[in-house]
Structure 1
Amino acid sequence: MTEKKLLAPIHPGEILLEEFLKPMEISQERLAEDLNVPIEQIKEIIEEKRGITADIALRLSRYFGMSERFWMNLQTRYDIEVEKDRLRERLEKEVKVYAASQAL
């Protein structure tokens, strides 16, 4: 059974930009300075060229006063959805589904 994908996975950089930086009127430059990371790193996350690392998750969680797991979960979900889309047909062909009745 194949599922139809309605929406593309949302990158954590888009969430950072749309749900945090824009509403709070925080520039990418200010965020980079406040997190003590290179501006290129923030720009690449926003541009979806780089993912959220554990280091960035810890910095963002401290900065925004929230859990680092929030940021890591966003990245993990994104990575899983991208891979699921990429590998769906291949996995259906290559990986058998375990059936409990086969074990008896």
Structure 2
Amino acid sequence: MTKENQFMPDYAIPPGETLAEELAAKSMSQAELARLMEITKETLNEIIKGKAPITLEMAFKLERVFQLPAHFWLNLEQQQKALG
């Protein structure tokens, strides 16, 4: 099976941007999310700003809070690095 018509964008949505959108959609503050994830507000802010990566551990914590699979978050991170 060929993948001739498969869409392959040349851009990636930063994981932090997606995370910020999820926060807004849930009307949740960074402080509240940091508490739920058991991380510092500073660490969360660094992820949102794109200064810190979403690690495997962070992906599982995000999965627990947002009910989005860890691989979703890891794929966003991987795509960002690939197109960097």
TM-score by length of structure 1 reads 0.68
Q: Distance in 2 between matches of 1:22 and 1:68?
A: 20
Q: Distance in 2 between matches of 1:59 and 1:10?
A: 20
Identity of aligned residues (%): 34
Gaps of 5+ in 1: 1-5, 83-104
Flag the structure with higher helix content.
1
TM-score by length of structure 2 reads 0.83
Q: Distance in 1 between matches of 2:11 and 2:76?
A: 14
- The structure with higher relative contact order (CA 8 Å, sep 6+) is 2
Q: Distance in 1 between matches of 2:12 and 2:66?
A: 23
Q: CA RMSD in A?
A: 1.6
Q: Distance in 2 between matches of 1:9 and 1:67?
A: 18
- Aligned pair count reads 76
2, 14, 33: which one pairs with 1:11?
A: 14
Q: 1:1-104 to 2 correspondence within 5 Å?
A: 9-18=12-21, 20-82=22-84
Gaps of 5+ in 2: 1-8
Write the letter of the residue equivalent to 2:69.
S
